[in-house]
Amino acid sequence: MEKKSFAVIGMGRFGSSLAEQLYSLGYDVMAIDENAERVQNSIQIVTYAVQADSTDEQALREIGIRNFDVVVVAIGLDIQASILTTLILKEMGVKRIVVKAQNERHGQVLYKVGADRVVFPERDMGLRVAHNLISPNVLDFIELAEDYSVAEVAISEKMHNKSLIELDVRAKYGVNVVAIKSGRSFNIAPDPSDVIKEGDILIVIGQNNDLKHFEEEV
């Protein structure tokens, strides 16, 4: 299978972190920014870095933007530039367009003009940190649908050496344990008789309100 190639437009905090991660995972990454200094700072962390204004269709054509498997638009503050860039990329026939949105309304417009996926990094991180503040045992929190989420929860002492049947979290809290992480091993189809040990981490799924009660109790 051929390796996917990525272009990331906008080398702000989000774009440069994303580009650096993809590159360090072994992918070809082109960084694009209209700001010469940002381009210069990106040279070390990606395969290529070029200076261009992404609202200029001709400039994108010269870069050969259509040849990338995925193009990420990581323009933060300039909502107009982010929307216009997305529209141009769609019209040029880019295969997959992923765009960072500032807010819900911006996200809706991005889908309308052709984004395949819209991400809300600040909103999602805020959600995670909020859940971690409710309970420090919550290590991660991902929203799946409007009212359903998955949480990664470190277990407290009162759960040590108890089986899933004994804990009965489904009846008590209405949440389901979908996996148990024990050190490096990962049990993705836990049996009701499986015993939870000190240091284990539970992956639970459920309605947000039920998850909240569970997080407060564990």
Q: Which residues bind ligand ADP (CB under 6 A)?
A: 9-15, 32-35, 38, 53-55, 74-78, 81
Cα dihedral 52/53/58/63 (nearest 10): 30
Say which residues have a Cβ less than 8 Å from residue 80's Cβ, sequence separation at least 6.
Answer: none
Shortest Å, Cβ 104 to ligand ADP? 17
Supply the minimum distance, in Å, between the C-beta of residue 132 and ligand ADP.
22
Closest Cα to residue 47, out of 70, 63, 34, 30? 30
Residue 69 or 78: the one with the smaller Cβ distance to ligand ADP is 78
Provide the minimum distance between the beta carbon of 95 and ligand ADP in the complex, in angstroms, as a whole number. 20
In the complex, the smallest distance separating the C-beta of residue 62 from ligand ADP, rounded to whole angstroms, is: 14
- Minimum Å distance from CB 64 to ligand ADP? 16
Neighbouring-strand partners of residue 97: 71
Nearer to ligand ADP by Cβ, of 75 and 89: the residue is 75
Minimum separation from the CB atom of position 1 to ligand ADP (A): 31
Shorter beta-carbon distance to ligand ADP: residue 70 or 72? 72
Q: Kindly tell me which of 76 and 190 has the beta carbon lying closer to ligand ADP.
A: 76
Nearer to ligand ADP by Cβ, of 52 and 139: the residue is 52
Nearer to ligand ADP, 80 or 193 (CB): 80
CA distance 124 to 117: 15
